[in-house]
Chains A and B, each alone.
Chain A
Amino acid sequence: MSPDSKSTAVVVSIPEHTAYLSVVRQAVASIAGTMGFDDDAVLQLQMAVDEACTNVIEHGRGGRGGRIKVKLQAKPGKLVMHVEDQRERFSPLERTLPSRDAYFQSPQTGGLGILILRRFVDDVRHCYKPGVGNKLSLTKLVPQDGGATCAI
């Protein structure tokens, strides 16, 4: 599939359990690898989506076991990845983005996940529909020269 082709979508649905995170990462690697992203960018995309799914699992811990739907859309010039759950409103983007120094001084306060979400994709948005659930949408632009990309 070339970056100029029409939108192509892959949908992966997993139980809310960390055992299935690798399934999502494999799907991300498969689709991103065909779009011109290099190894560094593929790893960073995997980390961002992994983080989004892990947030859902951790947020829902102790509750009923639901499913996470990950929709990967290869669009001209960009990869859009939607992570959807059926839980109550929760946005990881509302967490404070720590500085790196702050994180290393007090790692127990967390924040590495939000750092990964913000840094490793070009755009990240959250929306919530009552009765439906949360959708976190991550967008990564395909590098123009087909070479390396690192959203830092």
Chain B
Amino acid sequence: MKLNIEKHQDSDVLVQIVKVDGYLDAHTFPDLEKVLNCMITQGEHNIILDFETLDYISSAGLGLLLGAQRKASQLKGGVKIIHMQESIKRVFQVLGFSRVIEVCPSREAALRAFQCGNSGRLSGDVT
């Protein structure tokens, strides 16, 4: 798995964009976990994950996304996903993750949502 990180600053809103390449499983998820935890700890808790070249995700990867979303949302931030492949999107929907982590249609839409103060879906309670 490779990670490519880019910062996007627009007025006073800082968004971290992390492109994840390869697969996210029990072997690779600690690398992404380290990066996300570091960002959130430093107060950079508006995070976009670009999954355009993510081929596979396991329960370990899904659990990591949920944990990151919970931590970021507690700090008024959030995790949004863009460019998710259709098969992974279906898994997301079937397992209920699309209710708690927002999948945006584009990078622009995700950035716009953060700029409008819409940080995410999960803030501690699932409805």
Contact = CB atoms under 8 A, between A and B. Distances in A.
Contact of A104 (B87, B91, B96): B96
A116 interface: yes
Interface residues of A, number: 30
A105 B67 contact: no
Contacts of A15: none
Given A22-B25, A40-B87, A100 B60 contact: no
Contacts, number: 71
Interface residues of B, number: 25
B57 to A, nearest CB: 8
A73 interface: no
Interface of A: 18-19, 21-22, 25, 39-40, 42-44, 46-47, 50-51, 54, 57-58, 100-101, 103-105, 107, 112-113, 115-116, 119, 150, 152
17 contacts: A19-B27, A21-B58, A40-B87, A43-B88, A47-B58, A100-B96, A101-B126, A104-B66, A104-B96, A105-B126, A107-B63, A107-B67, A112-B59, A119-B94, A150-B90, A150-B94, A152-B94
Given A39-B87, A113-B59, 5 more contacts: A21-B27, A25-B23, A47-B91, A107-B66, A116-B59
